[in-house]
A and B are shown apart, each in its own frame.
Chain A
């Protein structure tokens, strides 16, 4: 048989689903998006005994309602694509809640295999699960695995092959008690015949969803013959049931599901009388402690940045040194002046300016992946939620904000962890004020040239200013653009786990490579455009006042006059900064025709300490680089928000720099 097997992985968040996916497919995976959605889709494949098996990692979900995009995607995939097998990964330490999804998958009519993961942790908690019994009760295969290693892997794949041949629908039905069951049967009978296509998902599931007022299913039924009739019947049943139960139908159905699960647990699992206090509990007593929580959090942040910057610093130096050397070699080697300039100033300089940030960005992502995988970031969200909520954000928004200090591009992508669109857009809008790694070289240059005594404080003050502007803008947006209900904060707190290096590295690579691809190609392109603007018309000295870009700079310079830096060079450098902010440093070098060592002196002739500070404030706040704009466009799927970001950040940057410069002059600074 040449037919390939399609297998989907489903499970709760934090159940080890992605770990199993990585374990099965290795690095042969493809990461993309679900069509039209900004939810990540991971595909992979592997071969077992000559059989090709395709694996798809469905979004982690707790349930299969129509309320969240992830849940909709997961269930639509199962219903519409009808995979041969669905592996439902279940966390052994948290069986009761995990089975809530399991029974919904069975109801849906998926051909499932239950893979119980993390048995080792369960043993430590003295939880004993009888997999044979559970399999009998559910009517589907149940296999114990450890996603992190090879335990149960062969057995799991064997049972996938077997299940792909003969579908085993969960024979034992979940019962909702006679009252609901009767009504379900009633509805099932009158369902339009056309609904029961060869796809074979269960009519009981549809009836159940109708009683639950599931928007998507209702839409589908309405499109069918005598759909209206069915819906009217469903509404009557809803009313009747809520009278009987004295609560809404949703609650009654959830009660019934958990009731059924309680029965399963009672028969297939034994647990200690008193819950054992786990290592996690002990750690949390300190880490989320009333008094220690915040100091520990600040220390973790400090450590994160220390490690990231100190480990990556030498690599950054080497890369900078290498490209400097390469540019010199190339320009010496090629006699044709324009070509050597294009290669050395344009291409090599451009590629170098991107690659020099790779070490720091990858290190930051690695550190964050480690913090995330060990479970600390969930605690950080818990600790920070009160503050974040005050500015209209979600505790989880904290993670993208933190990533913003590395690079705003992956930070904006990380807003995908937020469930509501409003939260996502608000987080994206204020994220650029988190001073990214690319702005640091600009601060370093100016701080060294003008504030040699207090460099650290000056740079620190800029980071702080960025955070303050983000908070103020968050408050303003919350009161204006995003008025109304804030989204809820209901999330699981997973136990601490020892992160695996492989998992963290994969995480790092996924985010980092996006930066490389998206930001890299764009910056490269812009650098070439800038080179042409600087070299045209033919014959002018590179980036001199007579070049196209020099003329543009001269034209717009008066705008910056009230901010203290109305020179054409500053305008041109800021224009270059739109490509990538670190380009500002190199372009000053070119514009003044000096090497990096002589740059400080050259700047001292056109800037004063006050105008230098105003300039840094402007660099901190104005248009994030092109890559950020591009990623906001992609993530919001519209031009509205990226254009809005360009305009409002520039207005704020100008105003803040104006206040700093004019205010400083009034106070007698120069």
Chain B
């Protein structure tokens, strides 16, 4: 099932299908390891509901749901 990363709930995980977007943010997401076929898992959501913490490439990354929207996941 395909979802965007911001729609995943805590402890859900899946494989990245695509990353949309342009420019600096897009490039930053790629540099941080959010590339096609990488596995991501939502570790937690901040107490106020945003941003989220995901595990990717063995480390923890924080990003806002706004940015997570650009990432499509094949949920497992």
Contact = CB atoms under 8 A, between A and B. Distances in A.
Nearest to B23: A67
A385 B31 contact: no
Nearest to B31: A63
B57 interface: yes
B47 A290 contact: yes
Kindly state the interface size class of chain A when it binds its partner. 35 or more
Nearest to A252: B36
A288 B30 CA distance: 26
Interface string A17-29: 0000000000000
Interface in A243-293: 247-248, 250-251, 254-255, 258, 271, 275, 284, 288-291, 293
Given A96-B33, A290-B47, A382-B53, A490 B58 contact: no
Interface string A49-84: 000000000000011010110000000000000000
A355 B53 CA distance: 43
Kindly state the interface size class of chain B when it binds its partner. 35 or more
B26 A250 contact: yes
B67 A490 contact: yes
Contacts of A288: 44, 46-47, 53
Contacts of A490: 25, 28-29, 32, 61-64, 67
Given A247-B19, A288-B44, A493-B59, 14 more contacts: A67-B24, A67-B27, A97-B57, A251-B18, A251-B19, A251-B30, A275-B58, A294-B48, A382-B62, A385-B46, A385-B51, A386-B51, A488-B67, A489-B64
A385 to B, nearest CB: 5
Nearest to A491: B62
9 contacts: A96-B57, A96-B58, A251-B18, A288-B44, A381-B62, A395-B62, A488-B67, A489-B63, A493-B53
A383 B47 contact: yes
Interface string B39-66: 0000011111111010101111111101
A382 B66 CA distance: 14
A395 B65 CA distance: 14
A93 B22 CA distance: 30
A93 B23 CA distance: 29
B66 to A, nearest CB: 8
A317 interface: no
A291 B35 CA distance: 33
Interface string A189-200: 000000000000
B58 to A, nearest CB: 6
A493 B44 CA distance: 12
B49 A386 contact: yes
A100 interface: yes
A492 interface: yes
Contacts of B23: 67
A439 B55 CA distance: 44
Contact of B47 (A97, A254, A293, A495): A293
B61 A385 contact: no
A472 interface: no
Given A258-B35, A293-B46, A490-B62, A382 B51 contact: yes
A492 B60 contact: yes
Nearest to B36: A255
Given A489-B64, A492-B61, A493-B62, A387 B28 contact: no
A147 B49 CA distance: 37
Interface string A464-499: 000000000000000000000000111111010000
A381 B48 CA distance: 12
Counting from the closest, the 6 A-B pairs by CB-CB distance are A293-B47, A254-B30, A386-B48, A493-B60, A63-B31, A67-B24
A175 interface: no
Contacts of A291: 47
Interface string A577-600: 000000000000000000000000
B57 to A, nearest CB: 5
Contacts of B35: 251, 254-255, 258
A250 B53 contact: no
